[in-house]
């Protein structure tokens, strides 16, 4: 077993808090990881972990080795990618954290174009948007819905959600369409409780001619299941207020926009995150280019999202920033 492999075991075990979790990430057995760490400790002549039945924690010496190991592994990966790039190809594995809606409606429909351009590139996705998983899951890129907290990651703003009130034609036929935002208080409303929700979820905001009106609705359903919420709305269960993120729902007529004379303030931001320096790694740079193109091609009429390069300059100026 080479030294860099043992250093990777150390990093994965420290990030995940257990040898078993590190083994799963590296496709090894927990005993193999334990032996590798023990070999590294003998070689360096220092204990790297304090081990208890409940906790695995780096020693002071282990923390120093960990910091250097992260840098060493990053340099090895960058060197490998650079050599591959000089041979005229972009290859390797890009590990991506993405929630289902972005993956389903933005990435997957356009993935063929990425592989046509870079046939040696492999994409692995994880259903997460927790920035801590960038390290623990060894992710290269992450999609983040909301406003990312301060970190050492680099964030590029792709756009914003464009919410509106929607219902199915069957619901409108049975209960009628609201003539004003205030009418929503008398309708069946289906509420989405998202992880990035800020403020009360039962207050829906509308704007017209410089006038803003906020109405408190009565929920018939509250759920964190976004896809289930849309299914219920399409089946006539009630009215939703969200950036539904699927223009086909509107163009097909399965959902109709209510209160067309009113607009709604843009909601969540949509970002792509990567490590500092990650954009210079060929496989990551290639994927980031694909992401920008894929999102720019998504929903060109901006029915459900606003693109960063088309919104106000104050919004577009957040396009690429280090959130430090």
Task: Give me the DSSP letters along 100-150.
Answer: HHHIIIIIGGGHHHHHHH-TTEEEEEES---TTHHHHTT-SEEEEES-PPS
Q: Are residues 286 and 298 in the same domain?
A: yes
**Rounded mean pLDDT, 187-198:** 83
26-46 residue pLDDT tens: 888 989 999 999 999 999 999
Same domain, 98 and 148: yes
Residue range of the domain that includes 144:
89-161+268-322
pLDDT exceeding 90 applies to what percent of the chain?
54
Q: Examine the domain organization and report whether 211 and 276 are in the same domain.
A: no
Is residue 295, in this structure, part of any structural domain at all? yes
Neighbouring residues of 160: CB distance < 8 A, sequence distance ≥ 6: 266, 267, 268, 269, 270, 305, 306, 308, 311, 315
Determine the pLDDT at residue 321. Answer: 46
The residue with greater pLDDT, 134 or 263, is 263
What pLDDT score does 310 carry?
57
- Highest mean pLDDT range out of 6-15, 154-163, 164-173, 301-310? 164-173
Residues 178 and 234 in one domain: yes
Last residue of a domain, one of 60, 83, 106: 83
In-domain check, residue 38: yes
Is 263 inside any structural domain?
A: no
Rounded-to-integer distance, Cα 197 and Cα 206, Å: 17
Q: Indicate if 168 and 251 belong to the same structural domain.
A: yes
pLDDT at 151 over 90: no
In three-state secondary structure terms, 238 is: coil
110 lies in the same domain as 73: no
Q: Is residue 36 included in any domain, yes or no?
A: yes
Q: What is the DSSP string of 61-107?
A: HHHHHHHHHHHHHHHHHHHHHHHHHHTT---EEEEEE--HHHIIIII
Least-confidence region, from 84-98, 256-270, 303-317: 303-317
47 & 193 share domain: no
pLDDT for 86 equals: 53
Residues 272 and 232 both lie in one domain: no
Task: Mean pLDDT check: name the lowest of 6-15, 61-70, 191-200, 311-320.
Answer: 311-320
pLDDT (0 to 100) of residue 131: 87
For residue 242, what are its two tokens?
């969200």
Query: What tokens were used for 303?
Result: 């029915």
The answer to whether position 101 is within a domain reads yes
Residue 126, token pair as written in the block: 């994880």
Q: In the chain, how many domains are there?
A: 3
Q: Closest Cα to residue 10, out of 30, 34, 37? A: 37
Asked if residues 46 and 39 have their Cβ atoms less than 8 Å apart, the reply is: no
Distance CA 225, CA 47 (A): 46
| Tens-digit pLDDT profile for residues 70-90 | 888 777 776 666 665 555 578
What does the pLDDT read at residue 312? 37
The percent of residues in the chain predicted with pLDDT above 70, rounded, is 90
Q: What is the CATH number of the domain that holds 181?
A: 3.40.190.10
């Amino acid at each position: 077993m080479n030294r860099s492999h043992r250093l990777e075991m150390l990093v994965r075990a420290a990030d995940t808090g257990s040898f078993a979790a590190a083994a799963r990430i590296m496709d090894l057995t927990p005993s193999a990881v334990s032996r590798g760490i023990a070999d590294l400790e003998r070689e360096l002549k220092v204990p790297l972990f304090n081990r208890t039945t409940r906790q695995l924690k780096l020693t002071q010496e282990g923390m120093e080795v960990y910091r250097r190991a992260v840098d060493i592994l990053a340099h090895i990966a960058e060197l490998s990618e650079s050599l591959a790039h000089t041979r005229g190809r972009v290859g390797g594995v890009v590990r991506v954290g993405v929630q289902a809606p972005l993956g389903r409606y933005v990435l997957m429909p356009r993935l063929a174009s990425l592989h046509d351009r870079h046939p040696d590139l492999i994409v692995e996705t994880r259903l997460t948007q927790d920035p801590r998983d960038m390290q623990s899951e060894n992710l290269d890129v992450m999609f983040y819905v909301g406003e990312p907290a301060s970190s050492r990651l680099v964030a590029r703003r792709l756009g914003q959600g464009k919410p509106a009130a929607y219902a199915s034609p069957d619901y409108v036929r049975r209960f009628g369409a609201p003539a004003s935002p205030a009418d929503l208080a008398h309708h069946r409303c289906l509420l989405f409780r998202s992880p990035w929700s800020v403020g009360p979820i039962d207050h829906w905001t509308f704007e017209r001619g410089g006038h803003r009106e906020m109405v408190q609705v009565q929920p018939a359903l509250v759920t964190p299941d976004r896809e289930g919420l849309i299914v219920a709305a399409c089946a006539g269960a009630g009215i939703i207020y969200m950036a539904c993120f699927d223009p086909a729902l509107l163009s097909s007529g399965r959902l109709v926009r209510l209160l067309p004379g009113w607009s709604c303030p843009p909601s969540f931001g949509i970002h792509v995150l990567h490590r500092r320096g990650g954009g210079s790694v060929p496989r990551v740079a290639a994927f980031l280019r694909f992401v920008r193109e894929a999102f720019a091609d998504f929903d060109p009429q901006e029915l459900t999202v606003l693109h960063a390069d088309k919104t106000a300059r104050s919004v577009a100026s957040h396009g690429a920033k280090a959130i430090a």
